């Protein structure tokens, strides 16, 4: 029951993060159009999905052996970075006119989600979940 509560809490917190980022983006969009890709909403959804998947994969291993968890976490982190870099490069070469805005938006959201994940991970470790 406690594990299910932490999963629901994470999902709700992640949804709140996406809503806040979308609201902030819409609020400042008129001032940052030179740096914001038209695909920003898809980027938010992409990061939401990736974070949800990684959370569920690591949640299972977090309860067990610390070495197995560390290995899985490192593998997922490297895979995630390769995936992100691939997406950036493919988009940049496919749509060079929007590449700069896409990369800036992507990196901005990446940093927001990375900070969220670090804070969440520290809280989970502190609470022993």
With CA atoms as reference, report the closest residue to 35 among 81, 86, 99. 99
With CA atoms as reference, report the closest residue to 91 among 108, 70, 76, 106. 106
pLDDT digits (tens, 9 = 90+) for 56-70: 888 877 777 778 888
Residue 2 has pLDDT above 90, yes or no: no
pLDDT digits (tens, 9 = 90+) for 59-104: 877 777 778 888 888 999 999 999 999 999 999 999 999 999 999 9
Instruction: Work out how many domains the chain is built from and give that number.
Output: 1
Domain that holds residue 21: 2-127
pLDDT at 127: 72
Is the pTM above the cut of 0.85?
yes
């Amino acid at each position: 029951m406690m594990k299910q509560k932490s999963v629901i809490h994470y999902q709700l917190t992640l949804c709140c993060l996406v809503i806040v980022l979308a609201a902030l983006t819409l609020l400042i969009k008129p001032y940052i159009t030179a740096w914001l890709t038209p695909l920003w909403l898809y980027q938010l959804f992409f990061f939401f999905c990736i974070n949800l998947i990684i959370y569920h994969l690591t949640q299972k291993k977090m309860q067990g052996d610390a070495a197995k968890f560390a290995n899985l976490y490192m593998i997922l982190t490297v895979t995630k970075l390769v995936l992100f870099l691939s997406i950036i490069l493919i988009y940049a070469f496919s749509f060079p006119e929007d590449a700069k805005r896409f990369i800036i938006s992507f990196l901005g959201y990446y940093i927001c989600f990375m900070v969220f994940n670090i804070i969440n991970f520290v809280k989970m470790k502190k609470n022993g979940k």
